[in-house]
Structure 1
């Protein structure tokens, strides 16, 4: 874990600070990968011949459950090697459906989803980081994805109309929110009756120390903000979802343990598939 400019406190981060550190981290990722695509390293300010990093992101994607064909089918820098699963594979997508991706990043899951829903379908990515939205829109042009659009917005306040969406996906993003019940209420609001939620995220399996939960770096890197399965079930039920299923992935420790250099994150986190449905 890198040292943070902000000192750790005895209490978890306040919501405004949590949103800021998350936005700052993903803005940095977006701009660094853009520099790598040009063959430049932002860390040392000079250009290198091996700065693309494409091999690492492809390998990470296969660990998360994507096929080699998935990775090779998307052009540009959409695959950032982030996430904790493959949500579009959970969603049982069909042609013509309208899908929203919560925290869409550079657009990797959106472009894969667009292949599933076809030209008759629509995919909307929502992300709160302007740099990521800009990068995703550039990737949409590279992938000639005319049925994909990206909107700037917070997942707690989605820029999407009521009862207009068939499926919601997300990849390791809800844990970053300081107000997860509101995220699920918003998801429920925009889904059509019978619409479904299919997300990958991390869940907490053991207590996490207050120091870790209050550390900005840990919160922004998906280490400290997860909820327990019981709490997620409660939040989804309160939002109105039915047919809720939260299934941990037993093999996720293979990549989760690499998320921090100081301790084994898999001792208190596991990736999970989270699904639910809005009643008809």
Structure 2
């Protein structure tokens, strides 16, 4: 499918860090949920991939993005889509109702990532797939940098450490957890995200230790087929 089939406005509003619709390997007939759907591009892509027998939901908490997404849906002429207003920590869908949960650089922005993962697990059908793009930290960061991360701009602000991300997925109940690096961010990338003052306060050794520590990742997991009683 070519990008030209999706409205330009949706493309410009998709400020993510990966391509979760490709990652998820969607199949006709599946029901998909995009957490933090923004302008709706990933939802529209998903709806095309699952076809008329499938369905794609987008969840966003901002009226402006929901309005843009609905306009883009109309412009694209795609019917098997619904955009929902709400927060990703409290998904307004019933349990066991979604085959695939996707997200594009949004979960890392949540203040309660464990709750987001529990909610994703709840709405997934047994055997359902969690397939998101997100920003992840590999290893520990210098304390000065970790303290200042809350004030950063962009996706790196709330990035989880890789082992913590795995642990939260496991605690939510997920199995078959994989975290695949898709891009490694240099020190210059971190500085340009809004952390120039924080980086300047680090020693040369600390700066060298941070270089390449932030990654864009494909995070995959599955809800087990059989649930424990």
The TM-score with structure 2 as length reference comes to: 0.84
| Pairwise CA distance, 1:266 | 5.8
The equivalent residue for 2:141 is 207
The equivalent residue for 1:79 is 11
Any stretches of 5+ residues in structure 2 without a counterpart? 200-206
Alpha-carbon distance in structure 2 between the residues aligned to 1:153 and 1:141: 21
Alpha-carbon distance in structure 1 between the residues aligned to 2:174 and 2:147: 33
- Return the structure number with greater strand share: 2
| Pairwise CA distance, 1:210 | 4.0
| Pairwise CA distance, 1:115 | 1.1
Deviations 1:51-82 (A, max 9, x none): xxxxxxxxxxxxxxxxxx53212024001251
For residue 128 of structure 2, give the secondary structure of its aligned residue in structure 1: strand
Alpha-carbon distance in structure 2 between the residues aligned to 1:243 and 1:183: 18
Q: What are the residue-to-residue correspondences of 1:181-260 with 2, within 5 Å?
A: 181-205=114-138, 206-207=140-141, 209-215=145-151, 218=152, 221-249=154-182, 251-253=183-185, 257=189, 259-260=192-193
Q: Cα RMSD over matched residues?
A: 2.0
Could you tell me whether the CA contact under 8 Å between 1:99 and 1:122 is conserved in 2? Answer: yes
1:150 maps onto 2:83 in alignment = yes
The equivalent residue for 1:7 is none
- CA gap 1:71/1:252 in 2 versus in 1, 3 angstroms: farther
1:271 maps onto 2:216 in alignment = yes
Q: What is the count of residue pairs matched by the alignment?
A: 207
Alpha-carbon distance in structure 2 between the residues aligned to 1:146 and 1:223: 34
Could you tell me whether the CA contact under 8 Å between 1:76 and 1:142 is conserved in 2? Answer: no
Deviations 1:119-167 (A, max 9, x none): 1110000011111111101111001111011001000000111100000
Q: What are the residue-to-residue correspondences of 1:11-90 with 2, within 5 Å?
A: 70-80=2-12, 81-90=14-23
| Pairwise CA distance, 1:260 | 2.3
Could you tell me whether the CA contact under 8 Å between 2:184 and 2:214 is conserved in 1? Answer: no
For residue 123 of structure 1, give the secondary structure of its aligned residue in structure 2: strand
Alpha-carbon distance in structure 2 between the residues aligned to 1:225 and 1:108: 23
Alpha-carbon distance in structure 2 between the residues aligned to 1:252 and 1:169: 21
The equivalent residue for 1:162 is 95
| Pairwise CA distance, 1:214 | 2.9
The equivalent residue for 1:176 is 109
- CA gap 1:72/1:267 in 2 versus in 1, 3 angstroms: same
Alpha-carbon distance in structure 1 between the residues aligned to 2:178 and 2:160: 15
Any stretches of 5+ residues in structure 1 without a counterpart? 1-68
Could you tell me whether the CA contact under 8 Å between 1:70 and 1:112 is conserved in 2? Answer: no
Alpha-carbon distance in structure 2 between the residues aligned to 1:151 and 1:257: 33
